Amino acid sequence: MLPDARPLLAAAPVIPVLTIKDASVAVPLARALVAGGLPVIEVTLRTPQALSALREIAREVPEAVVGAGTITRIDDIQVATAAGARFLVSPGTPAELAVGLATCPVPVLPGCATVTEAMALAARGFTALKFFPAEPSGGAAFLKSLSGPLPGLIFCPTGGIDAAKAPSYLALANVGAVGGSWVVPDDALASGDFARITRLAAEARALRP
């Protein structure tokens, strides 16, 4: 049986999606997010510093549940889990990657953007999926339409979602959490304003009682 990813989505309404260019900010950033009530954190593998940032958070902030995003190749699975990722997220899930993710030792949120992709992943045993890119792919209205034909699936929509749009997703029964980067503004990170990031995280946490 696949590791269950649904508890990740139940932990908090928002999963911060982080693209970290400087690993030295990883630990204070993770601590700021946890302090604001967002313990589940996705570090995207989009920068040379991503794995270092992931390792630092895994080692220094045990209260954070840190995962690796932008898993696009089979090789990414081993590299990310070795760095301490406690869950994996893919933007999309071609068949070969789906096979690899189905044997992963940690929970996975495989990405989909269509009904056919969601059904294919459900057939492999995945019950929690990433819906990406959410806004360009139909948004909350699309996900609402899936609750009838695909009642066994729960989604984490990501892509184009901000504080204003998040509530419409979180109101849906088949959405466990949303992913977004708005809780970590570039200017706040650049200036080291981690107190502001904690405030934004607390506001995001309050989106679901």
E runs forming strands in the chain: 14-18, 40-44, 65-69, 88-89, 108-109, 111-112, 128-131, 154-157, 178-180
42 tagged catalytic? yes
- Residue 48 class from Cβ within 10 Å (0-12 exposed, 13-18 middle, 19+ buried)? exposed
Q: Which of 56, 117, 130, 165 is catalytic?
A: 130
Q: Which of 42, 56, 117, 165 is catalytic?
A: 42
- Residue 35 class from Cβ within 10 Å (0-12 exposed, 13-18 middle, 19+ buried)? middle
144 tagged catalytic? no
Q: How far is CA 93 from the centre of its chain?
A: 15
Q: Which residues are catalytic?
A: 42, 130
